[in-house]
Amino acid sequence: MHARPWQRVNEFYLNTVRGNFSFPLLFQSQTLPEHDDSGVPVISDKAELESGVSKDRSGKWARFNFKIVLSYHGDSFDGWQKQPNLNTVQSIVEASLGKFVDEDKIQLLKDKGLPIEGCAAVAGRTDKGVTALQQVCSFYTWKKDIKPREIEDAINDAAPGKLRVVSVHEVSRAFHPNFSAKWRRYLYIFPLTDGWDKGQCSGNEETSDSLVYNVICDSVSKDELGDEKKSFVFSVRKVNRLLQKLEGKLLSYKMFARDTKASRNDGPPTECFVHHARAMEARLPITENGEETRVMCIELAANRFLRKMVRVLVATTIREAAAGAEDDALLKLMDATCRRATAPPAPPDGLCLVDVGYEEFDKEKCFILKD
């Protein structure tokens, strides 16, 4: 997998973050649905009174909560989560929010010898190399008279061209970017140009769009791969059929969160509900050199995903399509007793967190709707 032209995917994501390109270019649609705040609790004195909260804001009720929607280029950062000596999105965002911290917290941080930074909660942490188009985080403070535009400017100045604020709104204290979310949607762009092998295509409907897939993934031991590289031919249509079987189903973390420790040893496995799972072929925008890159786009939406889960699902689906497995092969994998029955995760370069929803999922807003 790593031998593929991921640089073209990275360039597309970077230009999308900068606003030069957009996902509708891939799918011949007109617009990208704007981030919908209809499911986010709004600020209302009446609502506060009905919930038994005093109209006089004091103590913890006096704080102001801001919802921040971010777009950032995955290859430019070492992931979301703050880590020592690494360039992460969270560290940059929280440093930018330092000027909006209230006096009491400033004094507390000084007493502890800590830098003056804000604290940002997030809808879902992304790994190094994973891009986000509409990531959602929140920040609260007791400092008054903060304008959303001031927060936007502070973050935009921190890493121009790599990190961009889509929107900032003051929201209810009840809002939490993770716990309030009802679904997350991801897009995986898999380059198809390298490995095209016309000699392996017979011209029928099933193989006319077949491509060579090299099983070379990250976090793979020599024992798993052996000494030789394996090549398979797979059909994008077959990938789509395998994925469609997941729609409306509960997907087990036990199998598809392959490299993540199981949440429990006994009892039923934790699960996520899959709203949407489709694949189709597309083409990245033509470069200045006139080059065009054929890609397979995989769109996945569920109420939640575990770390690396989307990448494991992508790699496993391609592997099963190449092996000519039955259309319900992914569902059958959940009955496996060994977590290594699924494939190692696909490279992070192709993955993008498209958006996070706080209203009921609407399939009509997805990019890939055709069977």
Indicate which residues carry an active-site annotation. 127
Strands (E), 158-270: 163-171, 183-191, 210-214, 231-235, 250-252
User: What 8-state DSSP symbol labels residue 346?
Assistant: P
Q: How far apart are CA 28 and CA 37, in angstroms?
A: 26
Length reported for the chain: 371
Give burial (CB, 10 Å; 0-12/13-18/19+) of 289. exposed
Can you tell me the distance from the alpha carbon of 343 to that of 311, in angstroms, rounded to the nearest whole number? 9
Percent helix / strand / coil, the chain, rounded to 5: 30, 20, 50
- Which residues contact residue 360 at a Cβ distance below 8 angstroms, ignoring those fewer than 6 apart? 39, 182
Rounded Cα distance between 126 and 123, Å, is 10
* CB 67, CB 156: distance < 8 Å: no
Residues 6 or more apart in contact with residue 331 via CB below 8 angstroms: 245, 246, 249
Structure tokens, 260: 């993540």
Q: Which amino acid is at 175?
A: F
Amino acid at 281: E
State the residue for tokens 């000699």: 199
Q: Tokens standing for 215? A: 């099983």
Tokens 């008279």: give the residue. 145
Name which of 5, 22, 326, 360 is nearest 166 in CA terms. Answer: 22
